[in-house]
Amino acid sequence: MNSLLKLNKVIRSSKMVLRSMSSIKLAGVLPPIPTPFNAKEDIDFDKLQINFEVWNKHSLAGYVVIGTNGESASLTLDEKAALVTKCRQLMKPGSLLVAGAGCETTRATLATCERLVEAGADALLVLNPSFFRNHISEEALYDHYMTVAKQSPRPIILYNMPASTGYDLPVSLMARLADHPNIAGVKDSSGDVVKLATVVDAVRPGFQVLSGTGSVLHPGLQLGCVGGVCAIANVLPGPTAQLYHLHCSGDHEAAAQLQRRIIGPNGLVTRRLGVPGLKAAMELFGMYGGPCRLPLVPLSKEKRAELRAEFERNGFQPVSA
């Protein structure tokens, strides 16, 4: 009897994985949305609605919640689940909702995957564990991701973010993991165009590679990426989505021109100023940024002025003082 129950569980799991593999499409631009906090550092869901009212006007493929820009490290699991539920309510029907689920242990990652899928996530973005990175081998990471992929109720997306983790996922590891049907793709935020090209070339056909920064969105698309998870899309959802559609229509000169205008603001927001810079930039364009949770602190007046000048220099006119 126990053997029969185990067999039924395996069959159900296999069907779930095949369903997941066939239904997830990552093509397009997905902003990794920041988590709005009020002055007490509590999540402000009313302000989240204000931001979605702006984002929903543009042709974004979906949203990434609880990523690096969402200050995932400062959120409890209950808060993460509440954010997923609220985003599902606010986003346009048919949009993809990807939720960050990476934790420092395999067990915690699996528990987070299950909770966020229950809350409404379509796919899970899994950052590699990094606290013990000097003692975690490539083989250990392979076992970690394979365990998560086998048990996750929805597809997972590998997340390479060496600026935050201090570890650059090897192409060899991505290529091996790409063979699992419940690993749908990878978000590579290294900013290395050569690495993007190498990953696209190394993985199986149909494995979806996403550029993790707006600075190389167009080069990434030309090299075979299917889209991008771009922080700048929070601030400039229209132009960032337009860049993707220009590429798809074959107007590569216009796409390249727009890409050149985006590089400066994107680099300032993401690499130099981080999440406080992203939130400040959103406020320049009429959305809600608000405070971060400590230890992240707001930008100085000088940095805010530098931010405004960079957008203006590239032809993007802020609407707020």
Domain containing residue 89: CATH number: 3.20.20.70
Q: Is residue 294 part of a domain?
A: no
pLDDT in tens, 122-160: 999 999 999 888 889 999 999 999 999 999 999 999 999
- Work out whether the CA dihedral 55, 57, 58, 60 comes out positive or negative: positive
Q: Is residue 258 part of a domain?
A: no
86 an active-site residue? no
Q: Which range marks the domain in which residue 89 is found?
A: 9-247
- The answer to whether 21 and 14 are in contact (CB under 8 A) is no
Active-site residue, selected from the candidate residues 80, 187, 195, 279: 187
Q: Is residue 196 part of a domain?
A: yes
Name the domain count of the chain.
Answer: 1
pLDDT in tens, 78-126: 999 999 999 999 999 999 999 999 999 999 999 999 999 999 999 999 9
Active-site residue, selected from the candidate residues 63, 159, 244, 288: 159
Q: Is residue 183 part of a domain?
A: yes
pLDDT in tens, 157-194: 999 999 999 999 999 999 999 999 999 999 999 999 99
159 an active-site residue? yes
Residue 229 is assigned to a ligand binding site: yes
For the entire predicted model, the pTM comes to 0.91
Q: Is residue 289 part of a domain?
A: no
Phi and psi at 273, nearest 5°, equal: -105, -20
Q: Which CA distances in Å does 157 have to 45, 131, 190, 221?
A: 26, 20, 15, 18
Q: How far apart are CA 109 and CA 103, in angstroms?
A: 5
> Scanning the structure block, which residue is given the tokens 């405004």?
308
Q: How far apart are CA 58 and CA 243, in angstroms?
A: 12
